[in-house]
Structure 1
Amino acid sequence: MSHQHKPHMPSDVTSQVGFFDRFAQSASKFFSKPWFFAFCVLLVLLWAPSILVISEVDTWQLIINTTTTIVTFLMVALLQNTQTRSDEAVQDKLNAIAEILAAMAEESGSEDVKAAVKEAKAAIGLEDKESA
């Protein structure tokens, strides 16, 4: 089992993103456009009067229920991927800021700066590193 190195500073972060992550990001951008919402509304407006063609109400309802369930299921997986990566990126940036502040506090020796750094670390959930 290999141990993956967690980036600590902006220079440690790689710009390489996997295929699924790129796909999820593109899908997120695509699905978040106003015209896509309008397209979805149009599909519902086209489906609603199809009751006149599809005389069986159960079949008519099954069409929209199945379609929306499948689309929702797939979109949740894609959007969750995008949101998780975004959250991790924000946390990594906050951690880098906290580490920079900690380094500055150590150099300055000021108790006020050290207290502010400790408070910032606690606020963003960055634990103190144990020294060996």
Structure 2
Amino acid sequence: MPTPQTPAPKSVFARLAEHITQFVGSTLAFCLAVGTVLVWAVTGPLFHYSETWQLVINTGTTIITFLMVFLIQRAQNKDSLVMHLKLNELLAATKGASNRLINAQDFTEHEIQLLHQYFCLLAEKAKADRDLGKTHSVEEAEENHAEKRAAHRA
């Protein structure tokens, strides 16, 4: 396994996919696509708007769309993983932050829903405190809430 100091070399496919993704997101690629559609539209009368003429644009756009779906998903997966890593680093480095959220992207839907409920409880307790930044965890919120109740009873 490569260490952070020595990244693994990128495969030919990875390099090609990155270059294509960067290109198709550029202004030049958009202009080429618009130009292609305009050329196709202008040539309609030349080909008498034939079925073949229509098939050319339909087939071309279908193939390009099909391939782009996979490139876009690949880029999205990479971006999502990088974002999760950065958030994990922030959670791990922040004193008082709950480490239970590190790698939350790997939780089951049930675990995510359970944590959502806890944080809804935390938000409600913070609203009751009229200070949204007063606590860092559900446990701290529960302790603060219990202390306040005890103080009010006394």
Instruction: Give the shorter-chain TM-score range.
Output: 0.5 to 0.7
- Cα pair 1:30 1:36 within 8 Å, conserved: yes
Distance 1:85 1:122 in 2: 20
What TM-score do you get using the length of structure 1 for normalisation?
A: 0.65
- Computing the radius of gyration over CA atoms, which structure comes out larger, 1 or 2? 2
Residue 19 of structure 2 is aligned to residue 14 of structure 1: no
Could you say which residue in structure 2 is the equivalent of 1:125?
104
The higher-RCO structure (CA 8 Å, 6+ apart) is 1
Distance 1:13 1:90 in 2: 21
Cα deviation code 1:6-59 (max 9, x no counterpart): x9xx94783533322221111111111112111111111110122222235321
Distance 1:97 1:18 in 2: 30
Unaligned runs of 5+ residues in structure 2 are 108-154
Distance 1:30 1:89, change over 3 A: same
Say what the alpha-carbon RMSD is for the aligned residues: 2.8
Distance 2:5 2:92 in 1: 13
Residue 55 of structure 2 is aligned to residue 62 of structure 1: yes
Residue 65 of structure 2 is aligned to residue 72 of structure 1: yes
Could you say which residue in structure 1 is the equivalent of 2:93?
100
What TM-score do you get using the length of structure 2 for normalisation?
A: 0.57
Percent identity reads 30
SS in 2 for 1:55: coil
The amino acid across from 1:26 in the alignment is H
The counterpart of 2:76, out of the listed 68, 78, 83, is: 83
Aligned pair count reads 106
SS in 2 for 1:51: coil
Q: Which runs of 4+ in 1 moved over 2 A?
A: 10-19, 120-127
